Structure 1
Amino acid sequence: MPREIALLTNPAAGKGRAGRARGPVLARLREAGLVVRDLVGASAEESEAMAAQAVADGVDALVVVGGDGMVHLATQVLAGSSTALGVVPAGTGNDVARYLDLPRTDPVAAADRVIAGRTRTIDLARVGDRHFVTVLCAGFDALVNERANEMSWPRGQMRYNIATLAELRVFEPLRYTLDLDGTSLSLEAMLVAVGNGPSYGGGLRMCEGADLTDGLLDVVVIKPLSRAGLVRTYPKLFRGTHTTHPQYERHRVRSVTVASPGITAYADGERFGGLPLTVTAAPGALTVLA
């Protein structure tokens, strides 16, 4: 009996790249003998409802064409289930695709990974009844995200660059209280990041060394830096070499509560809400095609 999968596309992802990739990917999957439900939701809510229905109907896999936002949406449906997630990267950041070593510039090659049908399990991080795959940001980076979301111009990465510069002009270190597996810690920092995986934001390796299969979260603290020091350190995040900086600190825990006044946290590029938040590791909670 042929495998049946659901293909869920966000046509707007990656400035329309996902919409353009959908046709060739759909054709490749069907040529390989897969039965494919072709799903395109008019909104995130509709897309999630369609995905949930497909999983309830017993599809072998839910395959998303888009970026980390689509992966996040699918993860809410799939967490804790035996249905596999497939990813055809077509977004802006594509950090989950980096984690899984998937082709990020060739959608048909990514579809071939789905066709191969090889699976593995990875950890997730849980906040209440929501899960995330990448990194929860709760500091300077979260404020940049919040500011960028309030801007209507420009589009794409440049909006985040401008938001970063604007936030940098007024930013002061934040006061945090952390509960790390029951141990309380109070400190000032530029940011606190909670990583299930190593990177976010299109390859910023903030949580360098985070392992998707160790059942632990990586809590990274960047202690106060001057504005010039922050600017100098920023390029190192793309290489993961910031870990030697004297203001860098890392903790590995099963659960962490992060508190800081006035901060709204983001994970997988999605708004998670104001601090305090408790993040808990969910070992082996997601099956992926990779």
Structure 2
Amino acid sequence: MADTRVIALLTNPTSGRGKGARHGAVALERLRSRGHDVRAAQGRDADEGLDLAHSLVAEGVDALVVVGGDGMANLGIQAVVGTDTPLGIIPAGTGNDVARYVDLPADPLAAADRVLTGRTTTMDLALCQGRYYVTVMAAGFDAVVNERANSMTWPKGQLRYHLATLAELRTFRPLDYTIDLDGTVLRLPAMLVAIGNGPSFGGGLRIAEGARLDDDLLDVIVIKPISRRDLVRTYPRLFTGTHMSHPQYERHRARRVTVAAPGIVGYADGERFGPLPLTIESVPGALSLLS
């Protein structure tokens, strides 16, 4: 980033089981070694982190760079949308799907060097409840797993989500959904509904395979009722996108989606957005991401 003089570096030190602190220190040294004024900050929690992000952007920094996973990327997005400030990411989380969208390297030195190039990718965002997200809104079995995992104190990382998945599989049943797609209403039972701005979430689960970040549309994925055994067999296919050939898979595309089902809380970018019903809209070209 040859013409940037002031860079805000906002770190979540606990992300990736401490990886955030280590990667943040490496990135800070790299950025300062190139002669830039780097304002390093970290919040004690998400609310303070968001306040800091807004304050740093309001000060007129040339870039806001976050160190962490998809949750930190989501936090940074809220601060830069509607401004001329681009967002940079030093990946240090468990999932890192946002960083994966633009092939950011996992190595913090290499990721910092990508920030320094100043190249940006413009991408769409999804807007829900006044908050933006870039990956996928989970609104079915995957959201139930998220709720359980977030209530667990052990273990850490991806293993917690695998254990939560096994626990929920014992009792989960298809839910009755109402989905409004640009005014066309569907009523159907389903195991899972996901609203993708991008193709993947949860550390590479390509639930919305084929979703593009520049088409002004949301990809709405429906997995209709299947047995628990079939769900377990299908799960590995989510990492490759080959689940699209499953006979109970449906894909719809729309600019505005409202999804309703009993007892489900929506999650996106690893963050809790709230109970259904939720309305999601595509916001074309809303994010400038350093890549």
Q: What range is the shorter-chain TM-score in?
A: over 0.9
Could you say which residue in structure 1 is the equivalent of 2:171?
A: 170
CA contact (8 A) 1:96 1:134 kept: yes
Alpha-carbon distance in 2 for matches of 1:57, 1:154: 40
Counterpart of 2:43 in structure 1 is: 41
Give the corresponding residue for 2:271: 270
Per the TM alignment, residue 58 of structure 1 is displaced from its structure 2 partner at its CA by 0.6
Per the TM alignment, residue 143 of structure 1 is displaced from its structure 2 partner at its CA by 0.4
Q: Tell me the CA shift for residue 2 of structure 1.
A: 4.8
Contact 2:4 2:62 in 1 (8 A): no
Structure 1: runs of 5+ lacking an equivalent = none
3-state SS of paired residue (1:33): coil
CA separation of 1:35 and 1:150: change in aligned 2, threshold 3 A: same
Q: TM-score, normalised by structure 1?
A: 0.98
- Once residues 53 and 222 of structure 2 are traced to their aligned partners in structure 1, the CA distance between those partners, rounded to angstroms, is 36
User: Which range is displaced more, 24-33 or 61-70?
Assistant: 24-33
2:98 to 96, 99, 102: 96
Give the AA of the match of 2:119: R
Deviations 1:251-270 (CA, angstroms, capped at 9, x unpaired): 11100000001111111111
Asked if the contact 1:81–1:286 (Cα under 8 Å) also holds between the matched residues in 2, the reply is no
Counterpart Cα distance in 2 of 1:161 and 1:112: 34
Partner of 2:87: helix, strand, or coil? strand
Whole-angstrom distance in 2 between the partners of 1:55 and 1:158: 36
Which residue does 2:124 correspond to in 1?
123
Distance in 1, Cα, partners of 2:280 & 2:4: 39
Aligned-pair identity in percent equals 65
For residues 26 and 235 of structure 2, the distance between their equivalents in structure 1, rounded to whole angstroms, comes to 37
Q: Is it true that 1:182 corresponds to 2:172 in the alignment?
A: no
Q: 1:65 aligns with which of 57, 64, 67?
A: 67
Residue 76 of structure 1 corresponds to which residue in structure 2?
A: 78
Q: Is 1:289 aligned with 2:290? A: yes
- 1:4–1:36 CA contact under 8 A, matched in 2: yes
Using a 3 Å threshold, how does the CA distance of structure 1 residues 178 and 20 change in structure 2: closer, same or farther? same
Alignment-derived partner of residue 249 in structure 1: 250
For 1:170, what is the secondary structure of its paired residue? coil
Contact 1:81 1:285 in 2 (8 A): no
Match of 1:9 among 4, 8, 11: 11
Give the 3-state SS of the residue equivalent to 2:170 in structure 1.
Answer: helix
Deviations 1:207-266 (A, max 9, x none): 000101111000000011101100110000000100111111001110000000111111
Q: Look up the match of 1:30.
A: 32
Distance, in Å, in 2 between the alignment partners of 1:276 and 1:289 is: 33
Aligned-partner Cα distance in 2 for 1:274–1:23: 37
Q: Secondary structure at the match of 2:166?
A: helix
TM-score normalized by the length of structure 2 = 0.98
- What is the distance in 2 between the residues matched to 1:2 and 1:212? 26
Measure the CA separation in 2 of the matches of 1:73 and 1:169. 34
Give the Å deviation of 1:85.
0.3
Residues 111-148 of structure 1 deviation map (CA, whole Å, 9 limit, x = unaligned): 00000001121100001211111100000000001111
- Partner AA of 1:165 in structure 2: L
Q: Deviations over 1:265-288 (max 9, x none)?
A: 111111110000000000011111
Aligned-pair RMSD on alpha carbons? 0.9
SS in 2 for 1:228: helix
Report which stretch shifted further, 44-53 or 275-284: 44-53
Distance (Å, rounded) in 1 between the aligned partners of 2:167 and 2:26: 41
**How far apart are residue 82 of structure 1 and its match?**
1.6
